[in-house]
Structure 1
Amino acid sequence: MRGSLYIVSAPSGAGKTSLVGKLIELDSRIIVSVSSTTRDKRPGEENGVNYHFLNLEEFQEKIAEGDFLEHAQVFDNFYGTSQSSVENQLNSGKDVILEIDWQGAQQVRALMPNAIAIFILPPSLKELKKRLTGRGTDSNEVIERRMAEAVSEISHYDEFDYIVINNNFDIALKELHSIFSSGRLAQTKQVEAHNNLIQAMLD
């Protein structure tokens, strides 16, 4: 059975990465597509695991080759997703998550309109700033820029199918997982998985 494509977006600091990381631990049928980026590696990150780290020239070559399902500039860096890689993962029966911003979501849904889009929100802007500050990885200037960008990103909430508010992590995780579970119970998915059973009952 072919998997489903999910888009998960959120303002920086809303907890998207932590939620998705725990989700794929809970459910082996879910994987995250590894995006390409021109940003520098952060401590502890691995090439090919967290991102495919490319320089600007390499990234531009892939754009010219039409290799990206979506690509966008976020702050001073570029991010993109390989379409062929995503298709291979879906065909293997995995549900695939794209962790991308609203701009990337628009590009993906134009090409793959069946993609299911989920937006994760923090409980408040005050809490969002607290989380960004608590990381200890960004300067005050970068944090203020991310806060300004967050308001712009949140304004696109109505372009998504589901909204999960990450106030309590465990509750948000359960809500996020329930979206994937219910997606597998959709009529089209169940018929694909159990067509012989259904037909046997109708004969």
Structure 2
Amino acid sequence: MAEKGSLVVISGFSGAGKGTVVKELEKLGGNYWTSVSMTTRRPRPGEEEGLSYYFVTREEFEKTIEENGFLEYAAFVDNYYGTPRKYVEEKLAEGRDVILEIESNGGSQVKTFFPEAILIFITAPSAGELAQRLRGRGTEAASVVEGRLRKAREESFIIDQYDYLLVNENGKARECAEQIHEIIRKDRYAPRRQQAFIRKLQDGFAELIERHLQENGP
């Protein structure tokens, strides 16, 4: 039976470049599987159904909520985003390291169901740089950019709930991905990830003590 994989939540401000970082992470040769989220927003240029997101109607999304089909979900700038539960649990059981690129509110939801999850928050070097990146997209109205900046300020107050905070410098997404790769690698050695080995040690000590008492008396 495969060792259970790690569940890694990657969140960050809109415009921080977390999507680019995740793509770089996938190139590093780890045992990664990136979960595809479901959303009610319209596709952006270049986004593909089933690869970027599952694009659904509001009615379809709310039906999935009623069926308890999400690991986490949230509303953001008048749209829903959510992580289908079934596929994540299947991939973890297969031993894959599952990457969830989700909003910060979703991160705390995941931690409730999976206390062992690794939560990583990605930011731009500064608030000004973040605003510049958002405006540089050229795909969103000024009112939407303002909404994303307001949301970023709100999110800044919950960064403390995350395990790690990484800065994605301009042109250095690869370096940020390598930092995440190393965090996941080191997490393999955490005691909570080696419970079977710990139980084996405990049983071994108990057996040795029992044998000692039989041979030598109390």
TM-score, normalised relative to structure 1: 0.89
In structure 2, the CA distance between the partners of 1:152 and 1:126, relative to structure 1 (3 Å rule), is same
Which of 182, 185, 201 aligns to 1:178? It is: 182
**What percentage of residue pairs aligned between the two structures are identical?**
43
Query: Offset at 1:27?
Result: 2.6
The match for 1:25 is 27
The match for 1:39 is 41
Q: Distance in 2 between matches of 1:172 and 1:97?
A: 15
Instruction: Tell me the matched-pair count.
Output: 197
Q: CA RMSD in A?
A: 2.1
Q: Distance in 1 between matches of 2:106 and 2:124?
A: 20
How big is each residue's C-alpha offset from its partner over 1:9-47, in whole Å with a ceiling of 9 and x where there is no partner? 101001100001110111341121111110111111111
Q: Distance in 1 between matches of 2:110 and 2:125?
A: 27
Which of 133, 140, 143 aligns to 2:142? It is: 140
Query: Offset at 1:190?
Result: 6.0
SS of equivalent residue, structure 1 residue 151: helix
Q: Distance in 2 between matches of 1:160 and 1:187?
A: 19
**Structure 2 unaligned residues grouped into runs of 5+:** 201-218
How big is each residue's C-alpha offset from its partner over 1:50-97, in whole Å with a ceiling of 9 and x where there is no partner? 111110111111111111111110111001111111000101111101
Conservation of the 8 A alpha-carbon contact between 2:69 and 2:84: yes
In structure 2, the CA distance between the partners of 1:192 and 1:25, relative to structure 1 (3 Å rule), is farther
The match for 1:200 is none
Which of 55, 61, 70 aligns to 2:72? It is: 70
SS of equivalent residue, structure 2 residue 27: helix
Q: Distance in 2 between matches of 1:157 and 1:9?
A: 10
Q: Distance in 2 between matches of 1:191 and 1:61?
A: 38
TM-score, normalised relative to structure 2: 0.84
Which of 100, 119, 123 aligns to 1:98? It is: 100
The match for 2:160 is 158
In structure 2, the CA distance between the partners of 1:22 and 1:144, relative to structure 1 (3 Å rule), is same
